[in-house]
Structure 1
Amino acid sequence: MTAALVVIDVQESFRQRANWAVTSNPGIVDQVNRLVDAARDRGDLVVWVLHSEPGTGGVFDPARGFVRLMDGLTPADGEQILTKYAHNAFTTTNLQQILTTRGIREVTVCGIRTEQCCETTARVAFDYGYDVTFVTDATATTPIEHWAAPPGRPLAEILADPRTLGTDDIIARTEYALAGRFATIRTVAEVTGAVPAATRG
């Protein structure tokens, strides 16, 4: 075993937000399950990661009950579930220790959000020396309002603002930033062997 699949933050917290209605990938659970099944068939390590913000009272506060995997995702016996408190999956967990102990050299990243926790984890994994695969269509994100926009606006107003960054643009920017620098971009079909892998950075 030299490869690991890291599933990041595919948790109920996100479905509690109004903007989940406009997520880029409402079927992410199915896509993740395809990756998980393929990883298990190959004998690869599967690591599950959840994001937690204790004491905040928000949807990532474990006291609210939403810091759990989305329905339809079931870790197998022996697969670890790590809880992180930072954007990347390494800094506040023992993920690096787990991967090093298992002799992992290749890391595949999927989860939520594309440009935030997933992209950040991919960058850190590369800096740690791993060969990183980023499976974009097994990630999900939501539109991002302009950094100077007033806080607390309703979703409809955010979506109507021409400065709001749409999910297609977010995903494209992440792929541009990672490819050839930090990760190889692949699709679920390519990773699972359903189609031949294309030549990409």
Structure 2
Amino acid sequence: MSRAALVVIDVQESFRQRAIWAYGSNPDIVGQVDRLVAAARERGDLVVWVLHSEPGTGGVFDPANGHVRLIEGLTPVDGEPTLVKTSHNAFTTTNLQQVLTLAEVSEITVCGIRTEQCVETTTRLGSDLGYRMTFVTDATMTFPIPHRDLPETATLAEILADPRTLGNEEIISRTEYALAGRFATVRTVDEVTGALTGVRS
């Protein structure tokens, strides 16, 4: 009998250490993810937690600095694996596929940070691997993206003031357009939690 899984990607303290956190698309990311987790547990789905790590870099994703941990308010329970990745997608540098195979998972719901980066990349690869993917946009979070020609030394103020900076709404829209009908079904937290608990929304 096939099973479903919820994969929570990079909802970690590392991002809160950056000044741009205040300009994120989803201030209630923890609350939204928690709703998905509660519904998945109620149904008996597997919940998998993924963290991003960049050892030896000295930055906020370097585990030596103590920020590679879930944001307060999110806590795995017994039987829920926590995987640590060093790639953008959650498959390549972890044993996620093995975990899913052993659990006989065929459907995956994804959420987390960042919308267009690790969450989208995981969704695309999951689809290519044959999983039925659901992308829950309002349980993801992203941040303004500077133009490629802007110097790496640009300040946050300069990034936000640059008319070429890609804003949160445009990032989210582009991601949904790219994924829907190709790599995933795009849904809301309300839709997914209603389905998981057997209530139509």
TM-score category, normalised to shorter length: over 0.9
Q: Tell me the CA shift for residue 153 of structure 1.
A: 1.2
TM-score with structure 1 setting the length: 0.96
Residue 84 (structure 1) aligns with: 85
**Which deviations, in whole Å up to 9, do the C-alpha atoms of 1:70-95 show, x marking residues without a partner?**
00001011110000000000000000
How far, CA to CA, are the matches of 2:81 and 2:153 in structure 1?
36
How far, CA to CA, are the matches of 2:65 and 2:102 in structure 1?
34
Please state if 1:143 is matched with 2:163. Answer: no
Residue 129 (structure 2) aligns with: 128
Q: CA RMSD in A?
A: 1.1
Residue 119 (structure 2) aligns with: 118
SS at structure 2 position matched to 1:136: strand
Q: Tell me the CA shift for residue 156 of structure 1.
A: 1.1
Give 2:108's aligned amino acid: V
Runs of 4+ in 1 over 2 A off after TM superposition: 194-197
SS at structure 1 position matched to 2:60: coil
Q: Tell me the CA shift for residue 101 of structure 1.
A: 1.0
Give 1:53's aligned amino acid: E
Residue 69 (structure 2) aligns with: 68
Residue 107 (structure 1) aligns with: 108
Which structure 2 residue ranges, 5 or more long, are not aligned?
none
Give 2:166's aligned amino acid: L
How far, CA to CA, are the matches of 1:147 and 1:137 in structure 2?
26
Give 1:103's aligned amino acid: E
Q: Kindly tell me the number of residue pairs found equivalent between the two proteins.
A: 197
Q: How does 1:1-201 map to 2 (within 5 A)?
A: 2-193=3-194, 196=200
Q: Tell me the CA shift for residue 196 of structure 1.
A: 3.9
Residue identity (%): 73
Give 2:22's aligned amino acid: A
Give 2:66's aligned amino acid: G
Most deviating of 131-140 and 144-153: 144-153
**Which deviations, in whole Å up to 9, do the C-alpha atoms of 1:32-58 show, x marking residues without a partner?**
000000000000000000000000000
**Which deviations, in whole Å up to 9, do the C-alpha atoms of 1:138-192 show, x marking residues without a partner?**
0000000001111121111111100000000000000000000000000000000
How far, CA to CA, are the matches of 2:120 and 2:23 in structure 1?
20
How far, CA to CA, are the matches of 2:153 and 2:21 in structure 1?
16
**Which deviations, in whole Å up to 9, do the C-alpha atoms of 1:98-153 show, x marking residues without a partner?**
10111101000000000000000000000010000000000000000001111121
How far, CA to CA, are the matches of 1:51 and 1:4 in structure 2?
19
TM-score with structure 2 setting the length: 0.96
How far, CA to CA, are the matches of 1:84 and 1:142 in structure 2?
21
